[in-house]
Amino acid sequence: MDIVNLSFIDKRFDTHSITIGNLQMGGTNPIRVQSMANTPTHDVEASVRQAIEIFDAGAELVRFTAIDEKDAYALRDIKNELVAKGYTKPIVADVHFNAQLADIAAQFVDKVRINPGNYLEKRATFTTLEFTDEEYQAELEKLDARLLKLLNICKEHGTALRIGTNHGSLSDRIMSRYGDTPAGMVEATMEFLRVCQKYDFQNVAVSLKSSNTVVMVQAYRLLVKQMAAEKMSFPIHLGVTEAGAGTDGIIKSAVGIGTLLADGIGDTIRVSLTGSPASEIPPAQMLADYFAGPNKNVKINYNEPLAFDPFCFSKRDTSLNPSFDNTKPLVICDLPDLSMETLQSLDITFDLNTMTITGGKQSPDVLYFGAPEMDLPDFKTKNISLLIDYKVWIKDSNFEPLYGLNTYLSAKYKSDKRNWVMVSLGTLTPEAMAVLKSDPTVVLIACSMCVNQAAEQRAIFNKLIANGVNLPVVVSSIYKEPDVAQFQLKAAADNGLFFIDGMANGLWLSNFARINVKTVTDTAFAILQSARARYTRTEYISCPSCGRTLYNIEKGLAEVKKATAHLTGLKIAVMGCIVNGPGEMADADYGYVGAGPGKVNLYKGKTLVKRGVDEAVAPQELLKMIEEDQKN
């Protein structure tokens, strides 16, 4: 069994190919990239113009919301206008709360997306409902009858379907029986897929999105397991919904999507960013190209069974070394020099009088000095550790030594505090692991010289777990990527999985292409936050917007960030509308949700606190609400 993949697949999950207009997706086809327009769909001219912009950026599908019949019929005109201008790529209708609109749109578009959480059922009120088995079955029979009508329309017009489940819009019925959980997301999806399978409608894609990358990854893995059990092979659309804006949104998307692509899951992707829809295409294409590239298809020499449960998040046992806080993964930073400029950029202060190095709130936890040719003073430290190569380490100094495994095994001197030991898959012999298991001072550094380094590092963790080596492990990933965007995306896609799966205790990113050390360190912190492993700043859950958004969400997000960026550790949801807003806010402390033209509702958790606030003053009203809560 190849450790590149998970226990339920020994190769890429084998989906069948579906037809979306003139596009084939799934099976052996390339990973497709797509986006969603944010124009009012009934504004045909604006929608066509934006669709062309998205297609010209490289998208292979473009989706439009259909809020009402006016929108649904406008899709016919949008399709015709695009074809007349020479754009024949598929367009998709996005329908919520009104099954009739899906019936209309299916006659004109190439694919229709429906949401199991609101296709027939009302908007969730987060109320627990009681169903007998007979009553529950009656609901499924209603679904069967209504969905069959749509399937027949799709068959008649050659229209594909996406069953698009969102964590933020599960129905009260599903949540009452399965909880607000990945298992609930999977069951909501399977109810619809079983109807498709029953009536032999195979032209279906499926998605299970969440703004929480851990929930998202677990849901997709469980879905693949369940589809395999029920002999289904529907292609899979990947995305982290409400990922945010700019670099943070790209890193968060790469963490979630990259983890699943590394598992062999995914046929099409969307990187959902708050901003211009066309801006989603370059990072999505980067991800698709990276995982289709030769490095990711290099196999490693490891065929042991999986030693952990990929379907249930739990932190790996690191009880042998008590020096690590298992709730706070460390960030290690290569220190290129001791200049004040470099240290200040890393939120580190250096007192020349006392020779004290002090870490700040946003500083790395460990500074690596390498093997300097000149002797270094024995610095004093506060809130930070200093790491140096063993060959220049002086025993009893404030530095901690870094060894290769063979050097560690034969070393005459070792630290009484912590000994950092670099290991690769090939060096972890039974004899070496027996020694490591007996030394509670050891911190392992998981390294790889393989071009598919994440696969080999995953194998290292599997081997340690299988052999009961309960030591903390820091993942060390080295890049030679001069382009900042490429580096950040690759680092997030490679390393997020170790924290989503609760494996690693720290992250050490290195880039030998002279990307500045602050950018590298900030990327490490962003990966940890995106994987829900460590919060060092405010978390913003923000949707990419669509035609349902009736206020300036991009400006609103910027203003909310400006007002609340100092509130480290809080999760704030900035949502365009109420389709997913209340649900995705289940994981947020506060919510800022579009309520109408220029109006915003403010929430604390799921509770509506202020209704219809003017968007011009809403960010400050949100801050006041948070500050009042913090006083109480």
Q: How confident is the model at residue 313 (pLDDT cuts 50, 70, 90)?
A: confident
Which pLDDT belongs to residue 3?
38
CA atoms within 13 A on the CB side of 466: 15
Q: Which residues of 252-285 are buried (b: 16+ CB within 10 A; e: fewer)?
A: bbbbbbbbbbbbbbbbbbbbbbbbbbbbbbbbbb
CA 467, 530, 471 angle in degrees (round to 5)?
A: 20
The whole-model pTM stands at 0.92
> Mean pLDDT throughout 137-143?
93
Is residue 196 a contact partner of residue 230, using CB atoms and an 8 Å limit? Answer: no
Contacts of 103 (CB under 8 A, 6+ apart): 149, 150, 153
Q: What is the DSSP string of 205-250?
A: EEEEEBSSHHHHHHHHHHHHHHHHHTT----BEE-BTTB-SHHHHH
The answer to whether the CB of 230 falls within 8 A of the CB of 197 is yes
Residues 184 and 171: their CA atoms lie apart, in Å, by 10
On whether the CB atoms of residues 447 and 476 are closer than 8 A, the answer is yes
- Say if 380 falls within a structural domain: yes
Domain span at residue 570? 539-631
pLDDT at 428: 96
Residue 8 has pLDDT above 70, yes or no: no
In a domain, 574, yes or no: yes
Residue 402 vs residue 180, higher pLDDT: 402
What's the CATH number where 140 sits? 3.20.20.20
Average pLDDT, the chain: 91
If asked whether residues 394 and 444 sit together in one domain, one would say yes
Distance CA(158)–CA(90), nearest Å, equals 12
> For the domain that residue 552 is a member of, what is the CATH number?
3.30.413.10
3-state helix, strand, coil in the chain (%, to 5): 40, 20, 40
Using one digit for the tens of pLDDT, what is the confidence trace for 436-464? 999 999 999 999 988 999 999 999 999 99
**481, 497, 530 - which closes a domain:** 530
Do 397 and 272 share a structural domain?
no
Please check whether residues 471 and 543 belong to one and the same domain: no
29-57: average pLDDT: 97
Does 5 reside within a domain?
Answer: no
**Residue 2's pLDDT band (cuts 50, 70, 90):** very low
- Provide the 3-class DSSP secondary structure of residue 547: coil
124 and 250 belong to one structural domain: yes
* Per-residue pLDDT tens over the stretch 505-518: 999 999 998 889 99
Asked if residue 312 belongs to a domain, the reply is no
Query: Quick one: 230 and 362 in the same domain?
Result: no
Q: Does a structural domain hold residue 581?
A: yes
Residue 252: inside a domain: yes
Q: What is the pLDDT of residue 1?
A: 31
Angle at 209 between CA 566 and CA 149, to 5 degrees: 145
Do residues 266 and 373 both lie within one domain?
no
pLDDT at 147 over 50: yes
Instruction: Read off the pLDDT of residues 601-625 as tens digits, 9 standing for 90 and up.
Output: 999 887 889 999 998 999 999 999 9
Q: Residue 580: its pLDDT value, please?
A: 58
CA distance 288 to 263: 14
Does the residue 3 lie in any domain? no
Residues 117 and 245 in one domain: yes
Q: Examine the domain organization and report whether 455 and 526 are in the same domain.
A: yes
Residue 32 sits in the same domain as residue 135: yes
Interval 49-65 mean pLDDT:
98
Q: Which of 273, 297, 321 is a domain's end point?
A: 297
Regarding whether 204 and 146 lie in a shared domain, the answer is yes
Dump pLDDT digits (tens) for 202-255: 999 999 999 899 999 999 999 999 999 999 999 999 999 877 778 999 999 999
- Strands 366-368 and 330-334 turn out to be parallel
Q: Which helix (H) or strand (E) holds 112?
A: strand 111-114
CATH of the domain at 490: 3.20.20
One domain for residues 104 and 218? yes
Last residue of a domain, one of 504, 530, 556: 530
Query: 323 lies in a domain?
Result: no
- Total structural domains within the chain: 3
